[in-house]
Structure 1
Amino acid sequence: MKSTTPMYKLCVVLQSNLIYFRDAKLQYHRVNQAYKMLVQLTRPRKILYLPHHFSENLEDLLNHLPEDGQIVACVSSLEQHHLWKESSLEKKIHTKVGSIEDILKKLAASGEQYDMVFIDATEENPINYYNLIMNSNMLKMDGVICVQNVSANETGSQEHINDEIGLRSEEMTDVINVDTRVEQVALPVKGVIVTKRLPVSHINDTMKGVADDDVFRGFKGRSILDRLRLDGKVAYVTGGGQGIGRAFAHALGEAGAKVAVIDMVLEKAEAVANELGLKGIHSVAMTADISKEEDVKRVVDTIVANWKKIDIACNNAGINMNSASEDTTLEEWDKTFSVNLRGLFMCCQAAGRIMLSQGYGKIINTASMASLIVPHPQKQLAYNTSKAGVVKLTQTLGTEWIDRGVRVNCISPGIVDTPLIHSEALKPLVTRWLADIPAGRLAQVTDLQAAVVYLASEASDYMTGHNLVIEGGQSLW
């Protein structure tokens, strides 16, 4: 019969092999995709890679690390390292040559820690590697271990295993399953388990002699980094369309808050809101002149109508009109104070009323180093005086409202590097400023972002009426 001909049998074998290789390739692709997604989610900076053989997934990992990220790869010979020579990825990979166990002992002795570790369950001593990493605290508190080529046998029976590699894989799986220090999940790809150290709130077996308090377990069971999160919070940023306000909007959004970007120019607010949207941050663009009471009321009412509350009020909008004191007009004085102090007060009051009714809220005002010293050689009487007023307003509201759950603080930046000050006309002025700054450089808007997140978070709940100065030491000279 046709089905028994040699040619037909050969075709069946070839077809079976093609299906196998197609499935293997698909499986390999899925593993790589899973690893890439894991790296993107956990954002590791240091990875320890123990499998002896480099693979495509290593190159994918290198591509998805941040600029300052690195992979420490243990290899049996330098020949494998040559794969990366003169590659754009070479600076991110550091090879250690020799026995993996010896390398691990040296890394542990030097106090090295990693965000992510890759172990191959079929290597010679995978259990030793795993125990050394866990017992030496080489895995960071929130780090993960990816164990490749683990056994798919869920019954624990080893009857089907007839080779040494299979037994290693099975034993490695058993070790992970009984380790009470970690939780693990099998990825929906063949032979991969991801393990993560359990949070201290789940630790009970090794608590003997440990002070079981908020310092150990975290306040309300949350680590300090968790307490800096702003998930579920609603924030607004005035002057959010550019400069410091734009940086604040991004920082608050990245920490988890919904952000209303408020600016006098709607197009600028929309551009920042679009940037936030590209990051997956829920945001809205609004226009307002904060020197107008009706505009302040409108944006506050709109935010509450749409998002039901305001948790974080970032009052950042301000203006500066330089002039010598003898030449400062009342119009310039009034305009400066109308925005920098009167407008800021109206924002504090409108948002504060909402927060007082909620029983909780954070108000963060942008003051200036000019509230502490008289910056020179520029002349800016109205600006300096208005920013000093911002600090005193912050201190007063901070003491009045803290017992009702509302904290009010301010940030005083130094001179911030902007495209405007890089003009030839201002070059001598910048040189003079730099001579007055111990840090030897101007502030970047990114230097201010962590401060606004801290003041917006529950981690700063005991701080109120404070002027947080970030100026590279300029006010000290």
Structure 2
Amino acid sequence: MENGVHKTGQPDTPVEVLVDVLGKALQSSDIHEVKGLLENAYKLAHGLDPYLDAISTPPSEVCQELIHASLDHDWAEAHNQGKTQFLQKRECCAGALEGQLIATLCKLASAKTVLEVGMFTGTTTLAVAQALPHDGKVYALEIEDYMREFAQPYFQRAGVSDRVEVVVGPASKGIAQLAARGNRFDLAFLDADKTGYLGYYNQLMDLNLIVPGGAIIVDNTLMKGRTYYPGGVKDELADAIREFNEVVRKDARVDVVALPFRDGVSIITRRRDASAEADDVITGTAHSRILQRLKLNGKVALITGAGQGIGRAFAHALGEAGAAVAVADINGDAAERVAAELAAKGVRAIAITADVTQAKECQRMVDTVVERLGALDIAVNNAGVNFNNAAEDTPENEWDTTFSLNTKGLFLCCQAEGRHMLARGRGRIINTASMASLLVPHPQKQIAYNASKAAVVKITQTLGAEWAGRGLTVNCMSPGIVNTALIQSEALRPLAKEWLQQIPMGRLAEAAIVFMASDASSYMTGHNLVLDGGHTLW
């Protein structure tokens, strides 16, 4: 191959280079030159897929074993024994690269439910299941019951059998069954009988089985090149795919992009209504889908008391939503550990050691965030302390310590954060209160804590009202008993069991920090969001 690939006029993609080399071979009358050019063309084409495999993340060990088993299986013998209705071919195995592509698209779409039309031995099914959250599911439609038996042991070994449901039978019937059950999908992958593609596509679209923002991924849309070969190859499969491609391209409901990946992959997404009659309800505010409004890309969040417990969970949640995160804690080592956890996830994070009971420390903390991360958009004031004592036995110093951190410290944080946000004309402040502001928790006795958290609610309401017209929202959350390492400790385990009996939902609390920090909550201020599983109702 010649150098100078970046010179003007040089072919750019491997296919363009291949065309260029073959074009020169066609024009040459020198048999030795033609042979050399053909050797170059062969090496270029032959090396593409192995190189793509080599530079891509390999599938899991179990998935690789399933791929090898699929390629090595005697499908002719299985058919002769009546195990399969049709004579299957090893070439139907999608292989490592395609499975990884679909799995990656699932991750990019944050998919929870996926439909696969045409499972074969489940190599892509397995890759997708491993990419889904533990409460996600891939529904795989397969005509051959033998394929379910073949794949199931691998699903079990990979620990994803609860994330896979194989529906055996004709794909059109399977789609109809799932639609009748109310299933909808973030992503669908079509890789079944090619003459059925158009029917499956119409079912998915007409039955609205793909959620807004979802996609349909279609394999084999080049059909070995027969779909576009000059003059048109006339055979049933090429004709079916060619018709499918043309129908989808003309469908005003969707956008489609065709990629020269392996035998052609098309990615189909539903269009938004951009007509003049479409209002914000249809298009979303600023043409932003509701899930997009929960994203915090480009935002900077500060969390106090983030070295452990619920504050650590807040830091991870806001970081995963796209924010850069400042982890503040009086324990500098703990703050550094959490910042390192976030950095390992790809979150931009810094650690700050701060005693928020001191006004100068609060101001230094905010100044450090602005200096190192560029701004402060979201502040979560979570640092707190609790002592358990009967009211008549509560020492004065415990009362003062509790109010110094839980109430005074929170206000000083709000003050320092608010000055910066008011100058910018925007910002979100979120304070951690407690269900103890609404009831008297029992059996523990904690009068100082209860009173301090009630004060947090009133501080939040007051600041929410004062700053509402100046671009800031100030809210608080009142979580119930939160599932943290402390709650799961040996010392508190018996008490946790008693608390669970007091909660109608029968489980510990989870927070809604991303909603409160995002544009989705932009009309909420001065509000105390109670997250207690119904605890305060009893």
Using structure 2 for the length normalisation, give the TM-score.
0.78
Displacement after TM superposition at 1:415 (Å): 2.0
Q: Look up the equivalent residue of 2:372 and give its one-letter code.
A: N
1:253 CA drift (Å): 1.1
**1:43 is paired with a residue of what secondary structure?**
coil
- Mapped to 1, the partners of 2:107 and 2:497 lie a distance apart of 41
1:235 to 292, 296, 301: 301
How far apart, in 2, do the equivalents of 1:52 and 1:435 lie? 45
Identify which of 347, 360, 370 aligns with 1:304. Answer: 370
Q: Name the % identity.
A: 45
Structure 1 position 23, deviation (Å): 5.4
Give the residue type in structure 2 aligned to 1:288: A
2:9 corresponds to which residue? none
Which among 213, 235, 241 is matched to residue 279 of structure 2?
213
Shift of the alpha carbon at 1:84? 2.0
Equivalent residues in 2 for 1:20-99, closer than 5 Å:
29-51=96-118, 53-54=120-121, 56-87=123-154, 88=156, 89-99=160-170
Within 2, Cα distance between the matches of 1:33 and 1:214?
37
Q: What is the distance in 2 between the residues matched to 1:254 and 1:319?
A: 27
* Cα separation, 2, equivalents of 1:300 and 1:191: 54
Structure 1 portions without partners, runs of 5+? 1-12
**For residues 427 and 304 of structure 1, do their structure 2 counterparts lie closer, same or farther at Cα, with a shift above 3 Å needed?**
closer
Check 1:55–1:251 CA distance in 2 against 1; reply closer, same or farther (3 A cut).
Answer: closer
Task: Give the Cα separation in 2 of the matches to 1:425 and 1:64.
Answer: 37
The equivalent position to 2:532 in structure 1, one of 450, 471, 475, is: 471
Instruction: Determine if contact 1:237/1:314 at 8 Å carries over to the other structure.
Output: yes
Aligned equivalents of 1:199 and 1:361: distance in 2?
33
The aligned residue for residue 181 of structure 1 is 253
Residue in structure 1 matched with residue 83 of structure 2 by the alignment: none
8 Å Cα contact 1:122/1:166 also seen in 2: no
Q: 2:464 maps to which residue?
A: 398
Q: Residue 169 of structure 2 aligns to which amino acid in structure 1?
A: G
TM-score, normalised on structure 1? 0.87
- The one-character-per-residue Cα deviations of 1:36-89 (angstroms, maximum 9, x if unpaired) are 322221232222222363363333223323223322222222111111233314
Q: 1:84 to 1:31 in 2, by over 3 A?
A: closer
For 2:205, the equivalent position in structure 1 comes to 134
AA at the equivalent of 1:350: A
State the match for 2:520 in structure 1.
Answer: 459
What SS does the corresponding residue of 2:153 show, helix, strand or coil?
A: coil
Say which of 374, 377, 381 aligns to 2:440: 374
- The aligned residue for residue 185 of structure 2 is 114
Structure 1 residues 432 and 120, CA gap change in structure 2 (3 angstroms) = closer
Equivalent residue of 1:159, what SS?
Answer: coil
Query: Which residue does 2:475 correspond to in 1?
Result: 409
Q: Equivalents in 2 of 1:66, 1:236: separation in Å?
A: 27
Does residue 248 (structure 1) correspond to residue 314 (structure 2)? The answer is yes
> How do residues 212-361 of structure 1 correspond to structure 2 at under 5 angstroms?
212-361=278-427
Which amino acid in 2 is paired with 1:50?
A: V
SS at match of 1:439: coil
Cα separation, 1, equivalents of 2:514 and 2:255: 30
Count of matched residue positions in the alignment of Structure 1 and Structure 2: 454
343-352 or 463-472, which deviates more: 463-472
SS of residue in 2 equivalent to 1:124: helix
User: 1:158, CA displacement in angstroms?
Assistant: 6.1
Tell me whether 1:172 sits opposite 2:247 in the alignment. no
**1:179, 1:425 → 2: CA distance?**
63
The offset of 1:255, in angstroms, is 1.2
**Partners of 1:26 and 1:129 in 2: how far apart?**
33
Q: Name the residue aligned to 1:442.
A: 508
d(CA) in 2 for partners of 1:52 and 1:164?
22
Structure 2: give runs of 5+ residues left out of the alignment: 1-37, 53-94
Does the residue aligned with 1:86 lie in a helix, a strand or coil?
helix
1:186 deviates by: 2.6
| Change over 3 Å in CA distance of 1:422–1:360 after alignment to 2 | closer
Residue of structure 1 equivalent to 2:79: none
Q: CA deviation at 1:369?
A: 1.1
Q: Note if contact 2:309-2:485 (Cα within 8 Å) is conserved in structure 1.
A: no
Is the 2:214–2:270 contact (alpha carbons within 8 Å) kept by the matching residues of 1?
Answer: no
Q: Is the 8 A contact 2:258 2:266 kept in 1?
A: yes
> Structure 2: how far apart are the matches of 1:75 and 1:154?
26
